[in-house]
Amino acid sequence: MTTKARAVAKSAKAPSGSVNFPLEMSVGYQVRMTHRALQRYLQSKIEPYGVTLGMWYFLRALWHEDGLTQRELSRRIGTMEPTTLNAILGMERSGLVKRVRNKVDKRKIHIHLTPKGRKLKDELLPLAVSVVGTATQSFSARETTTLLKMLATIQSNLGLEGAGGGDE
């Protein structure tokens, strides 16, 4: 246990000697609640466009790099392949993507944005920027940068090097 971890554990001791760890002191709980609030707010913004949160992250990846395979999408988003397939099928039904089998390796299926899916980028990314702006409105630019660095450090400490990808 690190010195800092011992200090947190010591301060969490209740007078009776049992461990007391209030939710207000739990970084994991606070990050989770913040993430949920951001997701609800983002969903309220993108829902009128027929886009679900499940679709959102896949669209973000494809807007960055169109034509990824299903497996690459799963890795980038951090989902299991069956979950990715369900999201792709939903986006395909909505006319946002099309699946194209690789001509060289027939096992690979590439996911390409349709014109409708590409067009959504210009409509939805400003909404995401607005969500982040609302969430950080009382922070200075320096505080926002510090927050992002601290979150990246937490991810790194937990073995998620290069996780990035955090939008909202």
| Residue 168, burial from CB neighbour count under 10 angstroms (0-12, 13-18, 19+) | buried
Sorted by where each starts, the structural domains of the chain and their CATH numbers stand as: 52-132 (1.10.10.10)
Q: Do 51 and 59 form a contact (C-beta atoms < 8 A)?
A: yes
Tokens coding 106: 């027939």
Q: Do 73 and 61 form a contact (C-beta atoms < 8 A)?
A: yes
Q: In which residue are the tokens 């009128």 written?
A: 48
Local confidence pLDDT in tens for the 168 residues of the chain: 566 655 565 555 556 678 888 888 899 999 999 999 999 999 999 999 999 998 999 999 999 999 999 999 999 999 998 999 999 999 999 999 999 999 999 889 999 999 999 999 999 999 999 999 999 999 999 999 999 999 999 999 998 765 444 445
In the beta sheet, which residues pair with residue 13?
A: 19
The CA-atom distances, in angstroms, between 124 and each of 46, 59, 93, 168 are 7, 10, 19, 12
